[in-house]
A and B are shown apart, each in its own frame.
Chain A
């Protein structure tokens, strides 16, 4: 995360580090005691579930729990060229034990409104500058939802942001997801202090540049797909 701050244990209890051969590769979000939501592009060249583990807690070096992966479900219509349908489900090989520091994030309804200008948080162990290296302690970044219209301005992504995608960042840049944050959650709080995952870190032009916010998979657009695959 660029321009973020250190997260404390229990701040984002649904945050998962997905590790390939025991080194952090992508983020993910715990949506049930067996399923993690992440991004399809994380698994493009890394598709063997036996090489993956999921860890919980704010430190990737000394995690609170480690769980193996039994299967990886990538969206059938994932298109790397256009980043369309950049969503995947990871099934764990056993149930996760919930406690104060590890439990699920809520999934939004398909029709849940995500208002431009509203506050959201993106979290991860990604680099803190473009082309930097991942970090061992979880970071959090406070961003604002940016409408697709604004995001697609010629100075922005000029139409590359499609309806299944969501932009978030700051107009002046500076706070953004970065390399290694992919697959991680963009979350918002509702009126009863419950937190919902509204985006999955997907792509963007470098990190934290003005007019080039982070682009996320819009989870509400895939709510039925998630139910169809997991029953949640």
Chain B
């Protein structure tokens, strides 16, 4: 059987352009996957709301504390909010803490109970139970007996945004920036 001496055969070397494009495509796909992973794991953040009740020892309740219109209500609420803000701004949650607002002052025995709402910003992947205990421990670190406020947190409850709206709309004179506890400019 004749076997021609020379048979032309397809060349075995790949087209360099093809190789280049294939490498670039793989690198881009990997970069996108890694970028998405980093974003969702580290940067995709969400707001979390917590309700707490803080017992103010030694503060006599009076009718003046029943309405946000009185100077006495404004002054006591303002002191409680600034105390909480100071405590969190000096903690390792300083970058996550957004704001605290007193939504109600009520009587409890001889003392005053302040119902407050706090807003934090965490990544979506936090362990909510451990974060709750973290916030509780910081609240319990609040200095007592400063500015003649003797404050003792009694409970901390994670709440939904919808329930936050319900708590706020029971108060008078609130607009959406307060309901959202928008960050102070």
Q: Which residues of A are in contact with B by a Cβ distance under 8 Å?
A: 10-14, 31, 98-100, 103-109, 112, 187, 190-196
Contacts and interface: CB of A to CB of B under 8 A. Distances in A.
A13 to B, nearest CB: 7
A193 B67 contact: no
Given A11-B175, A192-B74, A193-B177, A107 B69 contact: yes
Contact of A107 (B74, B170, B172, B175): B172
Nearest to A104: B172
A99 B78 CA distance: 25
Given A100-B179, A193-B177, A112 B172 contact: no
B69 A109 contact: yes
B178 A194 contact: yes
B27 interface: no
8 contacts: A11-B175, A13-B169, A98-B170, A103-B171, A104-B173, A107-B69, A192-B77, A192-B78
A112 B69 CA distance: 8
Given A194-B173, A194-B174, 5 more contacts: A31-B172, A104-B172, A190-B74, A191-B74, A192-B77
Contacts of A107: 67, 69, 172
Nearest to A11: B175
Interface in B74-93: 74, 77-78, 81
Contact of A191 (B70, B78, B175, B176): B78
Contacts of A112: 69
Nearest to B71: A109
Interface in B138-185: 165, 169-179
Interface in B33-91: 67-71, 74, 77-78, 81
Contacts of B67: 106-107
A106 B175 CA distance: 11
A93 B70 CA distance: 30
Contacts of B173: 14, 104-106, 187, 190, 194-196
B77 A106 contact: no
A98 B169 contact: yes
A103 B169 contact: yes
A11 B178 CA distance: 11
Contacts of A103: 169-172, 174
A192 B169 CA distance: 15
Given A99-B169, A106-B68, A10 B74 contact: no
A99 B174 CA distance: 11
A176 B47 CA distance: 39
B170 A105 contact: no
B69 A11 contact: no
Contacts of B177: 193
Top 8 A-B pairs, shortest CB-CB distance: A106-B173, A106-B172, A195-B173, A194-B173, A103-B169, A104-B172, A193-B178, A98-B169
A85 to B, nearest CB: 22
Nearest to B162: A100
Contacts of B176: 10-11, 100
Contacts of A104: 172-173
A225 B168 CA distance: 27
B69 A108 contact: yes
